[in-house]
Structure 1
Amino acid sequence: MKPSNTSNFKIKAACLIIAFLVWVYVMIDIDPVDTRELTSVQVKITNIGELNNHNLILSPNQKLEAGVKLKGRRSIIARKIKEGVILQTTIENAKIGENISKIAVNSENDDITYSITPSTLNLNIEENISKSEKIQVYSTGQLAENTIIDSLKLSKDSVTISGPKSLIDKIVRVEAQIDLENSKETLSKWVKLKFLDINGNEISGVFSDFSDILVTVSVKKEKSVPIYADILNDKPNYNMSLLNLSVSPQEIKISGSEGDLEKIEKISTKPISLTKLLQDHSIKVEPNLPENIQSNIKTITVSTDVSSN
């Protein structure tokens, strides 16, 4: 006997009911409605470029974050959290001073409801300014023994910095520091710029047209040599052995290329008139430095306790 149409309908209806109950069970027990709370979610400002076009910028050290509560099916929430919850705000009619801006979720999912705390941000905006500062270079560490700095050169002399007026106004100098690394030869190195306030504290949160600079340290050698007085005997028949000369300092440090220094064992003063020395008893005179040789001692004192006859 063939089953009746009524019997077939009842079987199909029963299957549908069972399927529906299974689906409800799965949704309720296996994938129930759930809530998840996220804290300290970053809030993106969507119109930063527009602010910059009007020479405006966010003040530093502002907290751009909020908490968000998600409610929906557990699997959907888990997938959304894995993708990342993005909060954003657009600052309408931005002005210098305090601005209140509403926070929203980017690409909201209709299967999830969101609750954002706080719902708005109080954002302070200030003028975006720029200025040019001369770069000052400083060295740390030591060069090798008997090696000194000849010159310091920078790839650029100044830098343009920009940012919030409250920060730019604090910057009084820009420094580039290079470590001499016990070097005995010319040293070139890229170093980062530091933006400093009046107390030497580094200021962050500003922008510059470049952040690194090439510093070249040229070096030269130095050594100590004795110095003697070059007396011009313009007093005929004077017995020079009676002078009893005193020279101060008795030796000086000289600097130059290694090859030039190797040729020098001592240095004289520039010529001194014997007559004038006997009259004055003490004379200050420059050292007679060879070409391409330098010294930090600029004057030598030559004295005698003998009077002119």
Structure 2
Amino acid sequence: MINIFKRNIKIKIISICFAFFAWIYVMAEVDPILIKDFNNVAVKITNIDVLQDSNMVIDPKSNLNVKVMLRGRRSLLKDIQKSNLNIYGKFENIKLGENELDLNIDVPNNVTYTIIPDKLVLNVEENMYVRKYIELDKINKLKEDFKISNMNINPEYTYVEGPRSLVKKVDRLVCKVNLKNKFKNFNAKIQIVPLDKYGKKVEGVNIKDKYAYVSVEVLKTKEVPLKINLTGDLDENYKLLGYELEPKNITISGPNEYIDNIKELYVEDFDISGLNEDKSVDLKINIPEKIQTEIKKVNLKINVSKIISKNFIISKNRIVFKGDIHNLDISKNNLPDNIKVKVAYLEDLEEKIKEEDIQLFINMQENEGNHAKFKIKYSMPYDVENVEIEPKYVVIE
């Protein structure tokens, strides 16, 4: 009996060992031990409210991702995905500057893990909150002959929040308004962009209002001539030489339906009565309703000259007979010995006109109905206002 029992013990031990190795073999084949890697797994900070309470913020350039390696049976790892990994850390004795964060992970029993790195070094800064006005930057151009009259933005300002070092970089807040081929009023919802002094976008700051609402008033432009009505009359002995408006043309702007109907604009009337010298005066432009112009006044320059009358005595011997005399005896005429000539001229000729400048002549080809009656004419090297000759005619017998 004892021998039989001993033989059974040996058989049992052998059976147990065989079963153990068989189990190991089966487990190795059916449920093997695996290593599973996860990259860029986000770390959660469990006491992030401590930062907020202390008016602090993590430098946005800080890397809050780690690599995780899990080791365990296939049956334990098969349902673990990156999305359900819970890696967390907690600030201890938080301060401005560098802070170490020890990391932990929740995994099933019999699963081992490695976190790379096993702790994070995070830079903590003061959280800054400042108000800034929003500027409008125009990009591209309106359709030709149109211009912007007014631009409104709502809100006019907003707040920039973030790490002090980054908020300090924000030079201005900008909405970029695209004007390409616009020719009428328009509204737009435009993103607010923080820019540094070099015009580059500042990343890592928060803008309280992400967008602004911009309204743009667009007007048509047109160049038109200016005109004036001169009223009254100069005194008899004065002459209006001319006048000039400066500028002669102006650019106006307004709604299409108004601009298209305007061909010219008038300035206020000017009375020249009693004017006896050159005049320069500023006058208002008569600007219609709904029409805009940067120029509100123009300058009117008026040139006036006094007319001087002077009498000259010309000997009849200086009269020249031109053309075919038709067998007439020109010596037999009714001319007096001296011809009276009254010349009216502008005052700037006062020192120039001399008696010898006046040439009297008779064109024998031009009789006055009567073949023996001719008009006495004159020629001068200057333009004059009027010439009166006495007598006007000569009769040749």
- Normalising by the smaller structure, the TM-score range is 0.7 to 0.9
Q: CA deviation at 1:306?
A: 5.2
Residue 134 of structure 1: aligned partner: 133
2:168 is aligned with 1:169: yes
Verify the 8 A CA contact 1:277 1:283 in the aligned structure 2: no
Residue 251 of structure 1: aligned partner: 249
2:85 is aligned with 1:88: no
Verify the 8 A CA contact 2:128 2:161 in the aligned structure 1: yes
2:47 is aligned with 1:47: yes
Distance in structure 2 (CA, Å) of the matches to 1:196 and 1:203: 6
Q: CA deviation at 1:299?
A: 4.6
SS at 2:38's partner residue? Answer: strand
For residues 119-162 of structure 1, what are the alpha-carbon distances to aligned partners after superposition, in whole Å with 9 as ceiling and x for unaligned?
11111111112111111122323333433222111221111221
Residue 98 of structure 2: aligned partner: 98
Distance 1:265 1:278, change over 3 A: farther
Look at both structures and tell me which one has the larger radius of gyration over its CA atoms: 2
For residues 76-104 of structure 1, what are the alpha-carbon distances to aligned partners after superposition, in whole Å with 9 as ceiling and x for unaligned?
23422365433221112211111111111
Residue 216 of structure 1: aligned partner: 215
SS at 2:91's partner residue? Answer: coil
2:262 pairs, out of 264, 268, 281, with 264
Residue 154 of structure 1: aligned partner: 153
2:80 is aligned with 1:66: no
Distance in structure 1 (CA, Å) of the matches to 2:276 and 2:197: 55
Aligned residues: 302
Residue 57 of structure 2: aligned partner: 57
Residue 37 of structure 1: aligned partner: 37
Verify the 8 A CA contact 2:128 2:163 in the aligned structure 1: yes
Verify the 8 A CA contact 1:133 1:158 in the aligned structure 2: yes
Identify the structure with the greater helix proportion: 1
Q: CA deviation at 1:277?
A: 9.3
SS at 2:184's partner residue? Answer: coil
Q: CA RMSD in A?
A: 3.4
Moved more, 183-192 or 224-233: 224-233
Verify the 8 A CA contact 1:277 1:303 in the aligned structure 2: no
For residues 214-247 of structure 1, what are the alpha-carbon distances to aligned partners after superposition, in whole Å with 9 as ceiling and x for unaligned?
111122222221112454558544766x433333
For residues 179-236 of structure 1, what are the alpha-carbon distances to aligned partners after superposition, in whole Å with 9 as ceiling and x for unaligned?
2242322211111001111221111222222201111112222222111245455854
Residue 356 of structure 2: aligned partner: none
Distance in structure 2 (CA, Å) of the matches to 1:261 and 1:153: 23
Distance 1:47 1:270, change over 3 A: farther
Distance 1:83 1:268, change over 3 A: closer
Q: TM-score, normalised by structure 2?
A: 0.66
Moved more, 270-279 or 30-39: 270-279
Distance in structure 1 (CA, Å) of the matches to 2:183 and 2:22: 83
Distance 1:28 1:243, change over 3 A: same
For residues 17-76 of structure 1, what are the alpha-carbon distances to aligned partners after superposition, in whole Å with 9 as ceiling and x for unaligned?
877555422211332222233333322222223311221100121111222222111342
Distance 1:138 1:278, change over 3 A: farther
Verify the 8 A CA contact 2:187 2:214 in the aligned structure 1: yes
Residue 300 of structure 1: aligned partner: 298
Distance in structure 2 (CA, Å) of the matches to 1:163 and 1:55: 10
SS at 2:80's partner residue? Answer: helix
Distance in structure 2 (CA, Å) of the matches to 1:170 and 1:238: 76
Distance in structure 2 (CA, Å) of the matches to 1:204 and 1:274: 69
SS at 2:107's partner residue? Answer: coil
Higher relative contact order (CA 8 A, sep 6+): 1
Distance 1:287 1:23, change over 3 A: farther
Distance 1:163 1:83, change over 3 A: closer
Distance in structure 2 (CA, Å) of the matches to 1:89 and 1:62: 15
Distance in structure 2 (CA, Å) of the matches to 1:82 and 1:201: 35
Distance in structure 2 (CA, Å) of the matches to 1:13 and 1:308: 148
SS at 1:295's partner residue? Answer: coil
Instruction: Name the amino acid aligned to 1:296.
Output: E
Distance in structure 1 (CA, Å) of the matches to 2:277 and 2:60: 72
Moved more, 274-283 or 53-62: 274-283
For residues 278-309 of structure 1, what are the alpha-carbon distances to aligned partners after superposition, in whole Å with 9 as ceiling and x for unaligned?
85665554433223321133453444565677
Verify the 8 A CA contact 2:238 2:306 in the aligned structure 1: no
Distance in structure 2 (CA, Å) of the matches to 1:238 and 1:75: 122
